[in-house]
């Protein structure tokens, strides 16, 4: 039975201990647990089922936990994103997913709080006391079922017009474990295939398809029902029964509305802070 997960960390956990071509390190920063995984060659890519590149998993207190420090969560995400962002040049940000389906609404909700600056001239920026703002463009391309256009085709057209130094794509992900829903952020420099975690993969959005670096950011919001059965049950008969009856079903937390709202706010603020480090989080929140 196929184990569905978008997280490189979980792919590494399932791989053999002596997996060649894969390196990893784990560190703690405040309440955040950060795991950096590097897939260095084709052997490692085959071992973990992920393309060659860098993957960072940030595990933090649940987004629905309002007692936890958002500053620590935001700081950890901002630092890791800054490590792989181009130091200069315009950035295009795309929020992937379906805004009408809560577990899939992370991308569209996140871009609502991204500070778009491409239209703000340098003179106006300085007159407002904001200093030199990095050029940022934001789109929410929707889904194929509504637009009739593949997401990568829409983004490719925008890339031709705005010539970004990199594209950041934001999407909801699938995990193999319930414990990672709504408390994990993954950042990678390998792009993304929208819908792959839920068995509905669309055309790849990556440097090879767009011609510019693509940074993917995501939060796991669902677990495939049969994957969950495999993870929790040991009886083969039970597994087979659930695999047959649970095909196409996804499990999501009951507080998913809160998880999506808080995760979107946190990811958006982290991106804004990474792109405009000279502005405080408070100023950035006021601007959006």
* 2 domain-assigned: no
232-240 LR contacts (CB < 8 Å, sep 24+): 239/1
* 3 domain-assigned: no
Q: Total structural domains in the chain? A: 1
Q: Give φ, ψ of 169 to 5 degrees.
A: -110, 135
**Alpha-carbon span 200 to 219, nearest angstrom:** 17
Q: Which DSSP symbol is given to 288? A: -
Cα separations in angstroms, 106 against 24, 35, 227: 27, 22, 22
Task: Please report, for the domain that includes residue 259, its CATH number.
Answer: 3.40.50.1450
**Alpha-carbon span 21 to 49, nearest angstrom:** 12
**Alpha-carbon span 287 to 255, nearest angstrom:** 28
- What is the torsional sign of CA 79, 81, 87, 89? negative
- Print the domain residue range for 218: 8-276
* 131 domain-assigned: yes
- The whole-number pLDDT of residue 241 equals 56
Rounded to a whole number, what is the distance in angstroms from the first to the last CA of the chain?
A: 45
* 286 domain-assigned: no
Q: pLDDT tens for the chain, 288 residues: list them.
A: 567 899 999 999 888 777 889 999 999 988 899 999 999 999 999 989 899 999 999 999 888 776 556 788 899 999 999 999 999 999 999 999 999 999 999 999 999 999 999 998 888 888 888 888 999 999 999 988 889 999 999 999 999 999 999 999 999 999 988 889 989 999 999 999 765 544 555 688 999 999 999 999 999 999 988 777 776 665 455 555 555 555 667 889 889 999 999 999 999 999 999 999 999 999 999 988
- Three-state helix/strand/coil letters over 118-174: CCCCHHHHHHCCCCCCCCEEEECCCCHHHHCCCHHHHHHHHHHHHCCCEEEEEEEEE
* 102 domain-assigned: yes
* 287 domain-assigned: no
Q: Tokens at residue 179, please?
A: 């414990």
Please state, as a whole number, how many other Cβ atoms lie within 10 Å of the Cβ of residue 225.
Answer: 18
Q: Tokens at residue 156, please?
A: 């490719």
* 281 domain-assigned: no
Q: Which DSSP symbol is given to 223? A: E
What is the pTM for the complete model shown? 0.90
**Alpha-carbon span 29 to 72, nearest angstrom:** 8
* 183 domain-assigned: yes
């Amino acid at each position: 039975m196929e184990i569905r997960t978008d997280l490189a960390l979980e792919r590494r956990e399932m791989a053999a201990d002596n997996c060649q071509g894969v390196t990893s390190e784990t560190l703690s920063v405040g309440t955040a647990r950060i795991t950096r995984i590097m897939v260095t060659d084709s052997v490692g890519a085959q071992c973990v089922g992920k393309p060659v590149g860098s993957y960072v998993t940030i595990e933090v207190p649940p987004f629905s936990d309002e007692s936890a420090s958002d500053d620590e969560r935001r700081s950890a995400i901002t630092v890791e994103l800054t490590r792989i962002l181009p130091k200069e040049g315009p950035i295009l940000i795309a929020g992937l997913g379906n805004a009408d389906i809560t577990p899939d609404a992370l991308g569209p909700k996140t871009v609502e709080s991204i500070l778009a600056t491409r239209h703000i001239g340098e003179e106006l920026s300085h007159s407002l006391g904001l200093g030199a703002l990095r050029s940022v463009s934001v789109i929410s391309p929707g889904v194929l079922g509504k637009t009739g256009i593949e997401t990568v085709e829409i983004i490719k057209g925008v890339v031709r017009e705005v010539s970004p130094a990199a594209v950041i794509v934001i999407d909801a992900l699938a995990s193999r474990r319930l414990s990672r829903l709504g408390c994990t952020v993954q950042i990678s420099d390998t792009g993304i295939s929208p819908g792959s975690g839920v068995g509905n993969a669309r055309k790849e959005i990556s440097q090879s398809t767009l011609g510019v670096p693509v940074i993917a950011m995501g939060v796991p919001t669902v677990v495939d029902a049969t994957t969950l059965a495999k993870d929790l049950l040991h009886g083969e008969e039970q597994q087979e029964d659930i695999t047959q009856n649970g095909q196409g079903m996804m499990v999501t937390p009951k507080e998913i509305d809160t998880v999506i709202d808080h995760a979107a706010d946190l990811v958006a603020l982290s991106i804004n802070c990474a792109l405009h480090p000279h502005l405080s989080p408070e100023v950035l929140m006021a601007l959006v």
